[in-house]
Chain A
């Protein structure tokens, strides 16, 4: 089975987010009022071939813990969907 995987990586609360802070300050300067709590993260998307969803989730969990995030400063949220197996392109 093939899964479409989306990993959203965010900084843990309290970890310095200069990009988010700069965007937040600039919002007011551009006239966008009432914006607070701006946080910038990153998204990693990929396709994953696995025998079933449990195996896919286990692999992505390991991938996040050892490579995609640094658990000291980041957390990850993972979204899964099975790829539609339509006719070949």
Chain B
């Protein structure tokens, strides 16, 4: 049976349909869930897609983390189900405390929208279980606040626990330690700034993002209790 992957829509989310399309393409049953839903029954994995949740007012993700759906997302994360945040979704997961650190404004003062070369730095997360460590992927970034930062103790822990999942080959935004994506300690919650759904077909210039979605679907399938 196809795993059900919830794709959460906040007011201002704009990547939910692309994300759901790719998930369906790689064998999942995507389910669009509005942020006002307060339960996620029957859901095997969650994606918080990109966009500008609540207009990015106050800070990206600052208001979204209080949406009614977030306790249900947190409960699934604590139950070990895969939870993935893409771009704005990554910012929401950081604000919600499900991932460490924060995304500050890009160091070079510019919004960046371009293909980025990424290196897989951890191959045991829901997004990377089908990939080899060190593999390079071309996946676009599209953000103004994607400059990952964390205090020194957090960075030390991320490195020691092998929790940097993706690194930029050519850092486009000033991120600490070239970090493009991280995971939580239990390794089931992953956030990344690049948009795998926008690299899901050769027609889009790259299909490297597709394998991340395939990984997620495989992880969602295996996270279902027998």
Tell me whether A and B are bound partners: yes
Spell out A's residues near B (CB within 8 Å): 11, 15-19, 21-22, 67-68, 70, 72-74
When the two chains form their complex, are residues A70 and B147 in contact, meaning their CB atoms are under 8 A apart? no
Q: How large is the interface on B (under 10, 10 to 19, 20 to 34, 35 or more residues)?
A: 10 to 19
When the two chains form their complex, are residues A21 and B151 in contact, meaning their CB atoms are under 8 A apart? no
B26 within 8 A of A: no
When the two chains form their complex, are residues B151 and A18 in contact, meaning their CB atoms are under 8 A apart? no
When the two chains form their complex, are residues B150 and A72 in contact, meaning their CB atoms are under 8 A apart? yes
User: Taking A67-B62, A72-B150 as contacts, is the C-beta distance between A15 and B109 under 8 angstroms?
Assistant: no
A-B interface contact total, Cβ < 8 Å? 35
* Residues in B whose Cβ lies below 8 Å from that of A67: 58, 62, 66
Distance from A38 Cβ to chain B, minimum over Cβ atoms (Å): 13
The residue among A15, A16, A19 with the most chain B CB atoms within 10 A of its own CB is: A16
Distance from B176 Cβ to chain A, minimum over Cβ atoms (Å): 11
When the two chains form their complex, are residues B62 and A72 in contact, meaning their CB atoms are under 8 A apart? no
Distance from A87 Cβ to chain B, minimum over Cβ atoms (Å): 35
When the two chains form their complex, are residues B104 and A16 in contact, meaning their CB atoms are under 8 A apart? yes
Residues 82-104 of B at the A interface (beta carbon under 8 Å):
94-95, 101-102, 104
B174 within 8 A of A: yes
Query: What CA separation (Å) do A68 and B109 show in the bound complex?
Result: 23
* Residues in B whose Cβ lies below 8 Å from that of A19: 105
The residue among B109, B147, B150 with the most chain A CB atoms within 10 A of its own CB is: B109
Select one of A18, A70, A72 contacting B105, CB under 8 A: A18
Chain A, residue nearest B174 (CB): A16
When the two chains form their complex, are residues B104 and A15 in contact, meaning their CB atoms are under 8 A apart? yes
When the two chains form their complex, are residues A68 and B151 in contact, meaning their CB atoms are under 8 A apart? no
11 contacts between A and B (CB under 8 A): A11-B104, A15-B104, A15-B149, A16-B104, A17-B105, A18-B110, A67-B62, A70-B95, A72-B94, A73-B104, A73-B149
Distance from B156 Cβ to chain A, minimum over Cβ atoms (Å): 15
User: Taking A67-B62, A70-B59, A72-B151 as contacts, is the C-beta distance between A16 and B106 under 8 angstroms?
Assistant: yes
* Residues in B whose Cβ lies below 8 Å from that of A11: 104
B72 within 8 A of A: no
User: Taking A16-B147, A16-B174, A73-B149 as contacts, is the C-beta distance between A68 and B58 under 8 angstroms?
Assistant: yes
Distance from B144 Cβ to chain A, minimum over Cβ atoms (Å): 8
Residues 116-159 of B at the A interface (beta carbon under 8 Å):
147, 149-151
